[in-house]
A and B are shown apart, each in its own frame.
Chain A
Amino acid sequence: MAGFLVRRILSVVPTLIGITLITFLLLEKLPGREMALVGTPGAGLPSVRALEEVRRAYHFDEPVAGRYAHWVLRLARWDLGESMLEHRPVAEIIADAALPSFLLNFSALLLAFAVSIPLGVGWARRRGTASERAGATLFLLLYAFPNFAAALLLQQALAVRLGLLPLQGLGGVSEEAGLLVRAGDFLRHLALPALCLSYGSLAYLTRFTRANLLEEIGREYLIAARARGLGERLLAWKHALRNAAIPLLTLVGLLIPALLGGSVLIETIFSWPGLGRLYFYSLTNRDFPVILALTTLAALLTLGGSFLSDLLYAIADPRLRREER
């Protein structure tokens, strides 16, 4: 197993190099990179001389290989470079956006897991009843409903017409107000985006939990349990959490990067200043250092996520095998 781990860790480096190289080459193809730095919407075109200056100043006239090597060497020194648009360290810009993103995705995940496991357990235990079929339908519908459409609908219904929740943004309370007020205001702003991000995973996880539970536990255990006089519910929970936990946790590894990438639309709709929106904005404004840094980050998260899930599966396997015997 150690060998497996080492091999996996070692394979990260070439993958990262491959990803960053492809991104670099792709970015080369994007038209208008000098314009993004000098051009102004509404004003005249920059002079040819100004464009030449930009090209020279940002080394666009140097060969790709050299620039890429330069960037990789900087990265090896933990230097992400400076944003071409804002002339601020990229690390700072990403940190600014990472916190809202993290809070949003974390709450979405938390919400999904906190609700889906009890629901999945409860649902599995009601096998054959009418509420099971109703649940099946409900979760299928939830799973299928596109999340940005839901975001728009919920926005209209809850924020505009009923005024229950704020429309967009992080929070509008001034700095001097008390901590409780600010926290509450932030939670109110967080509610809708987190809900929209989470309900799809929630539906998926609930179905997954239920399916897993049903697979692991046949009807036999119930008979055995009743024979032994143990509480049915307790046993269900014990079994569920033990057997379904590992596969669920492996899913976490895969869900995290999906949430991060998938939130571009949600972040745009709710004007949430997170990484998804930053990515989109940097792409349309040709801010190469930021794009490269974000791509690397996303790749690391994905690789880390799948590594984590593989690891957990590797750990889980011997235990399961022992269980069956």
Chain B
Amino acid sequence: MIASRIARRGLILAGLALALLGAPFLAGEAPLVARREGLLCFPALAVAPMVGTSLDCPGGARVDWAAVRKAGGEGILWSKPIPYGPYASDLDSIFEPPSRRHWMGTDSLGRDVASRLVHGIPVAFIVGGLATLVALLLGITLGAFAGAGGKWTDLALSRLIDLVACFPTLVLALALVAASVRPGIGVLVFSIAATRWTGIARFFRGEVLRQRDLSYCEAARAAGAGRPYLLARHILPNALSPILITAAFSVGSAVLLEAGMSFLGLGLPPPAPSWGSILSEARDQVVPAWWLVLFPSAALFGTVLGCILLAEGYRDSTDPRITRVG
């Protein structure tokens, strides 16, 4: 049903929005609602400079909510579900297994794992999403040039695509990160994208080559349409579905690649709450902290699974061969 399809898509979008924007509301030291000096205030909403300051509590960013909590929590009316920040260390409770206080336990500096996991969601999606976007742009552009350009352009670009595809993924990403002058999140996104774009480029080139000989393209050309117009208005939309499916798969593998790099110590700089870096803390322990392995693994797994299901669901919904009821 159309309604159910719209509802499903709306749900997916809502989920994504929650994932990307919801972290600050789910986990953090500042409560959602508090009362200080007689005023009702909402420190969690104090994110935007203009609006926020009026909603924030007296004392602003200098209020040490952790200390307030330790002193009995007076004035805190409604805490966030996970009342710990992702960077707040507590040397007295390092490597604690999951308990009522810390649902997913603590890490080597006493930081709450659940909070780091939750704050790792936007990290993962932003890095994975941006990397996929860059890969898409690169792949479509270069694939278009290869397919629509002359014989020599095609030859040169095809060789380039083969070339980059030959590099082992992780090593290419690592080399790019190591070679950059000022490593940072931009370089990380680019190096992950650099390993993903070849498949898209190859596919789009194939599509362009296939479609430009079709009758409708010939007709359009006879009517005077230029190549860019053809590409943008006709070829791209037709090739979009498979590309989007690949993109959905790609987000999952980009997140995994980032986690792998963080695991090796080459991803986002510490103390960023990347899932890979939480995993790497569990390494080299005689009696390892299982909670440091299980929960980030589950998060990674969930992300990849979600991407696959999304991609396959989209593919099934646009595949004319599969008969649907209703």
- Direct touch of chains A and B (CB < 8 A): yes
Q: CB within 8 Å of B: which residues of A?
A: 11, 14-15, 18-19, 22-23, 26-27, 29-31, 140-141, 143-146, 148-150, 152-153, 156, 160, 257, 260-262, 264-265, 268-269, 276, 279-280, 283-284, 295, 298-299, 302-303
Residues of B contacting A302 in the complex (Cβ-Cβ under 8 angstroms): 165-166
Residues of B contacting A269 in the complex (Cβ-Cβ under 8 angstroms): 283
25 contacts between A and B (CB under 8 A): A19-B163, A26-B176, A26-B179, A141-B301, A141-B305, A144-B301, A146-B300, A148-B279, A149-B279, A149-B297, A149-B301, A152-B282, A152-B283, A153-B294, A156-B290, A156-B293, A261-B168, A261-B169, A261-B171, A262-B168, A269-B283, A276-B168, A279-B171, A303-B162, A303-B166
Q: Give 1 or 0 for each of B106-129: 1 = CB within 8 Å of chain A CB.
A: 000000000000000000000000
Q: Taking each of A146, A148, A150, A279, which has the highest tally of chain B beta carbons within 10 Å of its own beta carbon? A: A146
Contact A15 B170 (CB under 8 A): no
Contact A257 B168 (CB under 8 A): yes
Q: Give the distance in Å from the alpha carbon of A293 to the alpha carbon of B282 in the complex.
A: 33
Interface status of B263 (Cβ within 8 A of chain A): yes
* CB-CB nearest 4 A-B residue pairs: A261-B168, A149-B297, A29-B179, A299-B166
What is the minimal beta-carbon distance from A76 to any residue of chain B, in angstroms? 19
Contact pick for B304, options A11, A146, A148, A280, CB 8 Å: A146
Interface status of B174 (Cβ within 8 A of chain A): yes
Residues of A contacting B290 in the complex (Cβ-Cβ under 8 angstroms): 156
Contact B178 A144 (CB under 8 A): no
Interface status of B296 (Cβ within 8 A of chain A): yes
Contact pick for A283, options B159, B165, B174, B283, CB 8 Å: B174
Residues of A contacting B296 in the complex (Cβ-Cβ under 8 angstroms): 149
A30 and B178 in contact, given A22-B163, A152-B293 (Cβ under 8 angstroms)? yes
Q: Give the distance in Å from the alpha carbon of A152 to the alpha carbon of B171 in the complex.
A: 21
Interface residues on B, range: 35 or more
A26 and B175 in contact, given A15-B159, A298-B167, A302-B166 (Cβ under 8 angstroms)? yes
Contact A153 B175 (CB under 8 A): no
Q: Give the distance in Å from the alpha carbon of A160 to the alpha carbon of B284 in the complex.
A: 11
Q: Closest A-chain residue to B170, C-beta based?
A: A264
Contact A262 B159 (CB under 8 A): no
Residues of A contacting B287 in the complex (Cβ-Cβ under 8 angstroms): 160
Q: Closest B-chain residue to A14, C-beta based?
A: B159
Q: Give the distance in Å from the alpha carbon of A269 to the alpha carbon of B284 in the complex.
A: 9
Interface status of B98 (Cβ within 8 A of chain A): no
Contact B170 A265 (CB under 8 A): yes
Interface status of B264 (Cβ within 8 A of chain A): yes
Q: CB within 8 Å of A: which residues of B?
A: 159-160, 162-163, 165-171, 174-176, 178-180, 252, 256, 259-260, 263-264, 279, 282-283, 286-288, 290, 293-294, 296-297, 300-301, 304-305, 308
| Inter-chain pairs besides A149-B301, A156-B290, A303-B166, 13 sampled, C-beta below 8 Å | A15-B159, A18-B163, A19-B163, A30-B179, A144-B305, A149-B293, A149-B300, A261-B169, A261-B170, A262-B168, A279-B171, A298-B167, A299-B166
What is the minimal beta-carbon distance from A111 to any residue of chain B, in angstroms? 21
Contact A265 B304 (CB under 8 A): no
Q: Give the distance in Å from the alpha carbon of A166 to the alpha carbon of B288 in the complex.
A: 15
Q: Give the distance in Å from the alpha carbon of A242 to the alpha carbon of B165 in the complex.
A: 30
Residues of B contacting A22 in the complex (Cβ-Cβ under 8 angstroms): 163
What is the minimal beta-carbon distance from B75 to any residue of chain A, in angstroms? 41
Contact pick for A153, options B160, B283, B297, CB 8 Å: B297
Contact B171 A283 (CB under 8 A): yes
What is the minimal beta-carbon distance from A166 to any residue of chain B, in angstroms? 14
Contact B288 A160 (CB under 8 A): yes
Residues of A contacting B282 in the complex (Cβ-Cβ under 8 angstroms): 152, 156
What is the minimal beta-carbon distance from B264 to any residue of chain A, in angstroms? 7
Q: Taking each of B178, B256, B259, B287, which has the highest tally of chain A beta carbons within 10 Å of its own beta carbon? A: B178
Contact pick for B305, options A140, A261, A265, CB 8 Å: A140
What is the minimal beta-carbon distance from A278 to any residue of chain B, in angstroms? 11
Q: Closest A-chain residue to B165, C-beta based?
A: A302
Contact A280 B171 (CB under 8 A): yes
Contact A264 B163 (CB under 8 A): no
Q: Give the distance in Å from the alpha carbon of A264 to the alpha carbon of B260 in the complex.
A: 10
Residues of B contacting A27 in the complex (Cβ-Cβ under 8 angstroms): 175, 179
Q: Give the distance in Å from the alpha carbon of A146 to the alpha carbon of B279 in the complex.
A: 12
Q: Closest A-chain residue to B305, C-beta based?
A: A144
Residues of B contacting A141 in the complex (Cβ-Cβ under 8 angstroms): 301, 305
Q: Give the distance in Å from the alpha carbon of A111 to the alpha carbon of B292 in the complex.
A: 29
Residues of B contacting A140 in the complex (Cβ-Cβ under 8 angstroms): 305, 308
What is the minimal beta-carbon distance from B82 to any residue of chain A, in angstroms? 22
Residues of B contacting A279 in the complex (Cβ-Cβ under 8 angstroms): 168, 171
Contact B166 A298 (CB under 8 A): yes
Contact B159 A18 (CB under 8 A): yes
